[in-house]
Amino acid sequence: MANNKKVDVKTLVVIAMLSAISCVLMLMIRLSIMPGNEFLIFDLKDMAIVIGGFLYGPSAVCAMSVIVSFVEMNTVSADGWVGFAMNVISTCAFACPAAFIYKRKRSLRGAVAGLVAGWLLVSGVMVMWNYIITPVYRGFPRELIVPMLPTVFLPFNLIKYGFSAALTMLVYKPLSIALRKAKMVQQAEKKASVRENIVAGLALSLCLAVIPCILLVLVRQGIIS
C-alpha cells in the first residue's frame, strides 16, 4: 500500500511538472501565423500534454488539458469559457488518440501512428467546431466562416499540430529516459487497462464526433443561428 501511494505521488509530480511546462510554453510562445486572423494563436502547449499522455494514458491528457486551458483562460486568453472549451476539445482531439494508440503499441511505429492519427483527427474535428462555434463568440456571419474553413482553419491546425507532433517525437525519448533514470515513471511501463481504453475511447468519440454532428444538424435546421 505504501509503495502504491509513493508511485501515485510520483505520477502526480510528473503530471504537475508537464502541466507547468505546458503553461510556460503557452505563455511564452504565442504567434499569429494566419494574416488577418490574429485570434488563431500558434503555441506549443500540446507537446507537453502529449508526452504526459504517452506516459500515463488518455486520462492524463484530459486532466492536463483542463488545467492548462483554465490557466490560459485566466491569463492570456480573452475568449472566456468558450475559448476554454475549444482549447480542451482541440487538445484532447490531438493528444488522446496519440496516447491511446501508443499505450496499445509502445514502439516508434506506435508513437508515429498515434501522432499522425491525432494530427489528422484534430485538423478535421476543429473544422466542424469552428464552423459551429466561431460565429457565436466572434460575431462573424456564418456565411463568412464557410470559405475560411479550408483556407484558414484547416491549414492553421495542420501547421500547428504537425509542428507539435514533430517536436514531440524529438523530445519524448530523451525526456522519458531521464524520468526513468530518476525513477519517476514506474507506472509508465504499464499498459492502460481495457476499461480505461474503452471509457477514454467512448468519451473521446462522444465529445469530438457525436456532439459536433448534432450541432451541425441544429445549425442546418436553423435552431442555432
Range from 13-17, 149-153, 205-209 carrying the lowest mean pLDDT: 205-209
* Residue 122: strand, helix, or coil: helix
Distances (CA, A) of 125 to 3, 14, 92, 109, 212: 41, 29, 11, 24, 8
Report the Cα 39 to chain-centroid distance in Å.
Answer: 18
Q: How many CB atoms lie within 10 A of CB 180?
A: 14
The pLDDT value recorded for residue 188 is 43
Q: What is the pLDDT of residue 106?
A: 87
**Domains of the chain, with CATH numbers?**
2-220 (1.10.1760.20)
Instruction: For residues 79-90, give the mean pLDDT.
Output: 90
Which set of grid coordinates corresponds to residue 199?
Answer: 471509457
CA–CA gap between residue 176 and residue 194 (Å, rounded): 24
Q: What is the pLDDT of residues 32-77, one digit of tens each?
A: 999 888 889 999 999 999 999 999 888 899 899 999 999 999 999 8
Span 175-221, pLDDT tens digits = 888 888 887 776 444 444 555 555 555 556 555 555 666 566 666 65
Q: What pLDDT is attached to residue 51?
A: 95
How far is residue 119 CA from its own chain's centroid?
10
The C-alpha atoms of residue 123 and residue 17 are separated, in whole angstroms, by 27
Looking at residue 71, what is its pLDDT?
Answer: 94
Whether the per-residue pLDDT at 157 is higher than 60: the answer is: yes
**pLDDT tens readout for residues 89-128:** 999 999 999 998 898 888 889 999 999 999 999 998 899 8
- Give the pLDDT score at 78: 85
Q: Which CB contacts under 8 angstroms, 24+ apart, belong to 193-197?
A: 196/57, 196/58, 196/59, 197/58, 197/100, 197/103, 197/104
85: how many CB neighbours lie within 10 A of its CB? 17
pLDDT at res. 154? 94
Among the listed residues 52, 55, 118, 62, the one whose alpha carbon sits nearest the alpha carbon of residue 88: 62
Q: What is the pTM of this model?
A: 0.83
Mean pLDDT of 121-150: 87
DSSP 188: G
pLDDT given at position 66: 92
Cβ atoms 88, 192 nearer than 8 A:
no
